[in-house]
Structure 1
Amino acid sequence: MDCAWYCGWSAIAAAFGARAYLGRFRKFRSRVVGIIPARFASSRFQGKPLVQILGKPMIQRTWERAKLATTLDDIVVATDDEKIAECCRGFGADVIMTSESCRNGTERCNEALGKLEKKYDVVVNIQGDEPLIEPEIIDGIVKALQVSPDAVFSTAVTSLKPEDALDPNRVKCVVDNRGYAIIFQGDSFLLISEFTDIEKSGKVNPQFPYLLHLGIQSYDANFLKIYPELQPTPLQLEEDLEQLKVLENGYKMKVIKVDHEAHGVDTPEDVEKIETLMRVRNLS
């Protein structure tokens, strides 16, 4: 395919974008699939999905929690690694093999969606590195998207502890008064310098409603199909956050706030913390 033609058409499609999309696909989204994207290669934690947490692979822990959600019609694991696939089939999960070229979980979910035999209205991207994810949060973001026909994306946030404000692994989110995302911030100090006194006093501003973005998110299935065609955007490239490409292209993202202590596994050191917490909560 001629690159100039394709890029030009993609730009026109993005410009035409959100309004035309919503006018065409505005309907109740009833059929829901949960997809757990998992890759073996990771710069910070090689083979993370297979790490043992109290005797079970982390990907299994996540799958078992997702199975408790009431809004999911089906759950599949999407991976590019045969070791992960074999492990998941061993504990009973359905697996879709995807390519190594997927740049993020959203693209992996999109590829997996295209290979599923059934048709779905909503796709839930369930991060495999938070094995204590609450099934109620999965249900919450699905229902939020279902009752917000002007949104193509939904996600969850919780309170951000001030001491975590400068942690680059903690993605921050700002939400408007109607519950729609305004912006996300990752490694840069774009929001931090704007809404805190860190540069002046070294302290965060207690009046600013810090929100921590939780990795789980859901998409309108038709929107997910066109997401890879949207051109990269300036803030997305600056922050390396795929959510920003959605917002910068004019689409709406519904956000729910939940009371949840995030326990993601970003590094090998996090495994011991998770296991300690599970013992305290008597979770096996």
Structure 2
Amino acid sequence: MHLVDDQQRTWERAKLATTLDHKGFGADVIMTSESCAERCNEALGKLENKYDVVVNIQGDEPLIEPEIIDGIVKALQTSSNAVFSTAVTSLKPEDAFNPNRVKCVLDNLGYAIYFSRGLIPYNKSGKFNPQFPYLLHLGIQSYNAKFLKIYPELQPTPLQLEEDLEQLKVLENGYKMKA
């Protein structure tokens, strides 16, 4: 499958989400650089309209469900103390030790505690426990537009650099992330 095909399919799935006001493909694509949050901030600055929530959908997610998009937008809108939201799903055993499949741990209220490329939580047996509800982070996130202006000013953090995961910079700086 070609990358352009994936991007087109991702776009077609995103159009089905009911919570998104502005969506562009083709002439409206905004090319950016840096991390997801920095790219979203850059894109937001280039748009004429002002938005409260910005959603970043990876172009290689052609099967993304519109309900997932709507879910992360609503999670951010209904969580007054969250500045970022993301989606998680059940981790499959075959992805447990794959460092390209990011794992997540949530607290009892659905806020992210930690993200890792390693299996978390990691039990002392060192094996995948089929009875434990491990979570896999999906490649989609939504940001509070005001937070996007702050994010680029935050210095890289030790956990972010060690795991190479920008979500950790958000958590290490004391911000809340809803999943």
CA distance in 2, matches of 1:91, 1:244: 30
CA distance in 2, matches of 1:99, 1:126: 15
Question: Deviations along 1:53-81, whole A, 9 cap, x unmatched?
Answer: xxxxxxx1111110110000xxxxxxxxx
Change (3 A) 1:101 1:212: closer
* TM-score relative to the length of structure 1: 0.53
CA distance in 2, matches of 1:226, 1:90: 25
Does the Cα contact within 8 Å between 2:11 and 2:25 map onto a contact in 1? no
**Structure 2, unpaired ranges of 5+:** 1-7, 116-122
Change (3 A) 1:100 1:123: closer
For the pair shown, the structure with the greater C-alpha radius of gyration is 1
What SS is found at the alignment partner of 1:64? helix
Q: CA RMSD in A?
A: 3.3
Shift of 1:97: 3.5
Determine if the alignment matches structure 1 residue 225 to structure 2 residue 149: yes
Question: Deviations along 1:187-239, whole A, 9 cap, x unmatched?
Answer: xxxxxxxxxxxx97563123432100001000000101110110111110000
CA distance in 1, matches of 2:40, 2:52: 13
Change (3 A) 1:201 1:252: closer
Change (3 A) 1:91 1:97: closer
CA distance in 2, matches of 1:101, 1:218: 14
Change (3 A) 1:178 1:200: closer
Aligned to 1:162: 93
What SS is found at the alignment partner of 1:114? helix
* TM-score relative to the length of structure 2: 0.83
Question: Deviations along 1:80-138, whole A, 9 cap, x unmatched?
Answer: xxxxxxxxx99755122435798xxx211111111100000000011111111001100
Change (3 A) 1:251 1:136: same
Question: Deviations along 1:139-168, whole A, 9 cap, x unmatched?
Answer: 000001110011000011000012211011
Change (3 A) 1:232 1:137: same
Which structure shows the higher helix fraction?
1
Change (3 A) 1:90 1:119: closer
Change (3 A) 1:225 1:129: same
Between 1 and 2, higher relative CO (CA 8 Å, sep ≥ 6) is seen in 2
**Structure 1, unpaired ranges of 5+:** 1-59, 73-88, 185-198, 254-283
Question: Deviations along 1:243-273, whole A, 9 cap, x unmatched?
Answer: 00000000000xxxxxxxxxxxxxxxxxxxx
